[in-house]
Amino acid sequence: MPMSDEELEQMFRSADPVAHRTLPDPPPFRPRARFRRRFVIPVVAALAIGGATAAGTTWIVGDGEGHSFDSTTVSCMAAHGRGDAVVGFNPVTDDPLEQCAEAWEGMLDEPVPAELTACVGWNGSGDSVHVWPGSGPEVCVDHESDPWAGPTPEQLDFGQFRLDLESRLPSGECLPRAEIEGLLSRLLAENQLEGWTVHIVDSPNEAVSEDCMELAHYLEDDREVWIQAL
């Protein structure tokens, strides 16, 4: 007798080797990822395209254009960080390299280098001229400073003011307050130094007389001249 459809299905199920095993659920459907092509422009190239320059320093010393804010002193820097010496300076009469060369052996206790370079600042900061052993702008870059571009016109005027004052009021001499203030005002005007002011250093001694006043110091960046009782 032929088998019915139900009997045939039952026979096949009984012969199935995995009929009594629990099969894992199929993994969820995940759409195929679509990739977009990305164009990466190097930073240097991007800066060039944008009109900026990737080269150059990342520090600002002095006025950022190679000029110092202090034209009254120069720092002479020994090789390999073995010390420094500060010498007086006037851009009207002095050259920073010559000033340091003359003081090098006596103040730094080492032979004068064959070549010297004047820079502004040191380690990415500072407002005065520093003279280092070596030659060329790379000397300044090595010390995170800028090559010195020389004095500004105002610094030359200020230098002449200092010379005029020294000729009229030598070091160690004094004048009554009214006279020294009048002298300073005239010399500032004669040398076209506009915006400069004269100040008096406070004295802890109330009995100090203003009959004998002398030059104390300058704050060049603030355009200030300070006097004090002698």
User: Domain extents for the chain?
Assistant: 73-151, 154-229
Displacement of CA 18 from its chain's centroid (Å): 80
pLDDT for 185-223, tens place per residue?
999 999 999 999 999 998 777 667 789 999 999 999 999
pLDDT for 173-192, tens place per residue?
999 999 999 999 999 999 99
- Average pLDDT in the 15-26 region? 49
d(CA 78, CA 116): 11
Show the CA angle centred on residue 191, arms to residues 190 and 195, nearest 5°.
Answer: 100
pLDDT of amino acid 160: 98
HEC readout, 119-173: EEEECCEEEEEEEEECCCHHHHHHCCCEECCCCCHHHHHHHHHHHHHHHHCCCCC
Ordered strands of the 197-200 beta sheet: 197-200, 224-229, 213-219
Encoding tokens for residue 49? 């395209």
Q: In the chain, what percentage of residues exceed pLDDT 90?
A: 61
pLDDT for 47-87, tens place per residue?
232 333 334 446 778 888 999 999 999 999 998 878 899 99
CB atoms within 10 A of CB 43: 9
| Predicted TM-score (pTM) of this structure | 0.72
d(CA 116, CA 208): 46
